[in-house]
């Protein structure tokens, strides 16, 4: 059964009242720049003149990719399960762990298709569809039923977060080889030539990038599906990527603010937009990463990332790093006084 999401564009009737409140804070109009546009966006998402951010969580979806067999990544496939175990180690010493602690995020790790029997005592959410996708050089990565199941897995996890009180979520991924399907999604849904979408991933040299492009081009040339966005995503997707798409769509349907991470999660937002264009209204793009093609993808989507730190780790790290800026925007509209109440002459 095809999973449908019902996402409303935020009602703009409140826009003038929000803008008036922002303009009458004790500052020159527009002087807090992006904080002002972010406050307006969050206020519209929440339909409130006093928006708030509650219980932020970062959800990492993990799965393996059959295309790794073609040598498209410098990292071996076992790094996927090793990193998942690392994220969920009691000491919490992974890249995403220290950032979650620093910024008050709860971390959830979801096994959607890791090719390993992960430990049962680490709190990993077991939603394994199967142990990795098929090699899309030779056919579709997943079946239509698996695609729909992944959408539902992502949506289900978001509903759990909403029940726990979250109204802001970031999403990350762990899946060796997943820059390859992301590059194909980017090329297909933007019209940008594939060669401009393919980068080094976890560290390929120029020869490696050329090989990766050759494999991906041959894969695309062999596509024999129906041409719909759903079909392209299931033919060339990863289980963790499709779960992230479902999570983003469900978050938007529930009016949750979505923090978008790097290249792979931006490609997932692009995929989600193919299914429900209004989803992007709920998205805050955390950063521009160092993966080749990410800046071009953001520009094509009309997205303005908050940070540019040369990050390319994934896991949700760039989105979490950007969270304090979002928090500052909300604090601005909620905590700053206005000229009248502060008895300050309005000087513009």
Catalytic positions, written as ranges: 315
Place of tokens 């059959």: 66
Name every residue whose Cβ is closer than 8 Å to that of residue 162 and which is 6 or more positions away in sequence: 254, 256
* Phi, psi torsion values for 11, nearest 5 degrees: -65, 120
Residue 326 is encoded by which pair of tokens?
A: 């979002």
Proportion of the chain in helix, strand, coil states, percent, rounded to 5: 50, 10, 40
Output the 3-class SS for 180-222: HHHHHHHHHHHCCCHHHCCCCCCCCCHHHHHHHHHHHHHHHHC
User: What value does the CA radius of gyration of the chain take, rounded to a whole number of Å?
Assistant: 20
Q: Where are the beta strands (DSSP E) in the chain?
A: 57-63, 106-113, 125-126, 168-174, 257-260, 283-285
Sequential DSSP letters for 175-190: -TTTHHHHHHHHHHHH
Beta pairing partners, 171: 59
DSSP 12: G
């Amino acid at each position: 059964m095809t999973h449908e999401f019902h996402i409303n564009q935020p009602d703009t009737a409140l826009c003038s009242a929000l803008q008036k409140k922002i303009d009458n804070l004790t500052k020159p109009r527009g002087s807090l720049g992006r904080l002002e546009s972010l406050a307006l966006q969050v206020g519209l998402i929440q339909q409130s003149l006093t928006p708030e951010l509650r219980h932020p969580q970062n959800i990492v979806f993990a799965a393996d990719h059959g295309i790794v067999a073609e040598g498209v990544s410098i990292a071996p496939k076992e790094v996927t399960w090793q990193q998942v175990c690392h994220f969920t180690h009691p000491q919490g010493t992974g890249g995403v762990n220290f950032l979650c602690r620093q910024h008050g995020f709860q971390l959830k790790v979801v096994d959607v298709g890791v090719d390993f029997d992960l430990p049962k005592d680490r709190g990993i959410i077991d939603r394994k569809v199967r142990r990795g996708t098929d090699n899309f050089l030779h056919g579709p990565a997943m079946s239509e039923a698996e695609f729909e199941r992944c959408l539902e897995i992502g949506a289900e996890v978001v509903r759990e977060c909403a029940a726990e009180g979250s109204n802001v979520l970031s999403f990350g991924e762990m899946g060796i080889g997943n820059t390859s399907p992301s590059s194909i999604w980017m090329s297909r849904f933007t019209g940008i030539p594939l060669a401009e979408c393919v980068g080094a991933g976890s560290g390929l040299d120029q020869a490696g990038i050329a090989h990766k492009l050759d494999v991906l081009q041959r894969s695309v040339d062999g596509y024999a599906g129906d041409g719909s966005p759903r079909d392209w995503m299931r033919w060339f997707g990863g289980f963790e990527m499709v779960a992230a798409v479902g999570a983003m769509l469900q978050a938007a349907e529930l009016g949750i603010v979505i923090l978008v991470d790097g290249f792979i999660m931006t490609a997932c937002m692009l995929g989600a937009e193919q299914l429900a264009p209004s989803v992007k209204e709920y998205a805050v793009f955390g950063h521009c990463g160092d993966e080749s093609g990410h800046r071009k993808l953001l520009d094509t989507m009309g997205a303005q990332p908050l940070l540019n730190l040369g990050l390319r780790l994934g896991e949700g790290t760039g989105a979490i790093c950007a969270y304090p800026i979002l928090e500052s925007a909300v604090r601005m509209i909620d905590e700053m006084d206005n000229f009248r109440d502060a008895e300050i002459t309005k000087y513009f």
